[in-house]
Amino acid sequence: MPVNIQWFPGHMAKALKQFKANLPKVDIVFELVDARCPYSSINPEIKKISKDKPHLLILTKSDLADPKMTQRWLHYFRHHGYAAIAIDSKQHVKSGKIAKAARQILGGQLEHRHQRGIKSNNVRAICVGIPNVGKSTLLNQLVHRRAAQVGNTPGVTKGTQWLRSGNGLLLLDTPGILWHKFQNQTIADKISLVGSVKAGQYYNDDVALYALKFFRNHHPDELAKRYRLTKADFNLNDVDLLLKITKNVGMRDDYDRASLRVILDTRKEKLGRFTLDDVAKVEA
């Protein structure tokens, strides 16, 4: 059975409501997407709900993605009217890079604010994105945690907790988690493979089969090396290839456990860096 693409948790409504309530308090929305599937992990609802609110697309986990593809995706998004940057939270993310991008987007607004006599040069932002995309990691890095809350900042709505980062960035302390309403099965497979769908909402073998199809087409050498596959094994169909891997990793006929192994290996970079979304296909 495929990933349950109807899956849309009950807390989605609450999260959406909270995100909408927070929007008037911020100058800009930082939407985080996974650099391994940046096109599939965008949540179209976010731009729709935020309407005219300035928006910065942040491709997270770029250390796990194919660097050439990340550059292509940045180019694609910029060409399609998005402001976009890529980050790698394994390295220390500098607030300067994000603050600079935000100030560039907000340029006119900040100037206008200044002309109206508002001295504050702070940029208030909310991070939002699908589960597991790296929202908390980024927040923690940007505020070095100990800086923590700056609740009584003048002009800041009472009850809202802000985290002060460097370079005049104020970040809402609770990132918005917005679940994905999958448009199709392939998107569901990709999002599941990178770890943004709760285990139990998909079948391991379906997602592993999707992964095998991708790696045999795009990274056959890594796949062969990891699972000791021969050239002849590549003539097997996907299901038989999974069975072969099951044997090769010593799991006899427990292909469900082997499927989980493939999924975890993929996430842990054991098959190398990869990007599931292909710019050429989207543009075609």
Site size toward ligand GTP (CB under 6 A) is: 16
Residue from 36, 55, 61, 124 binding ligand GTP (CB under 6 A): 61
Q: Are 160 and 21 in contact (CB under 8 A)?
A: no
Q: How far apart are CA 74 and CA 100, in angstroms?
A: 17
Determine the Cα–Cα distance for residues 50 and 54; give it in Å rounded to an integer.
8
Judge whether 133 is annotated as a binding position. Answer: yes
Q: Could you tell me the two tokens for 103?
A: 């100030």
Query: Which DSSP state fits 94?
Result: P
- What's the min distance (Å) between Cβ of 32 and ligand GTP? 7
272: contact with ligand GTP by CB under 6 A: no
Which one of residues 89, 109, 186, 248 is an interface residue with ligand GTP (CB under 6 A)?
Answer: 89
Cβ 253 to ligand GTP shortest distance, Å = 32
In this complex, which beta carbon is closest to ligand GTP, that of residue 60 or of residue 246?
A: 60
The correct pick among 38, 54, 134, 176 for binding ligand GTP (CB under 6 A) is 134
Tokens of 70: 């990340």
Distance between CA atoms of residues 50 and 53, nearest Å: 5
* Residue 180 interacts with ligand GTP (CB under 6 A): yes or no: no
Q: Which residues are within 8 A (CB) of 250 and not within 5 positions of it... i.e. 6 or more apart? A: none
Give the count of beta carbons closer than 10 Å to the beta carbon of residue 118: 11
Q: Is 164 in the site for ligand GTP (CB under 6 A)?
A: no
> Beta partners for 9?
none
Minimum separation from the CB atom of position 272 to ligand GTP (A): 13
Q: By the criterion CB under 6 A, which residues form the site for ligand GTP?
A: 60-61, 63-64, 88-90, 129, 131-137, 177
Which residues are known binding-site members for GTP? 132-137, 176
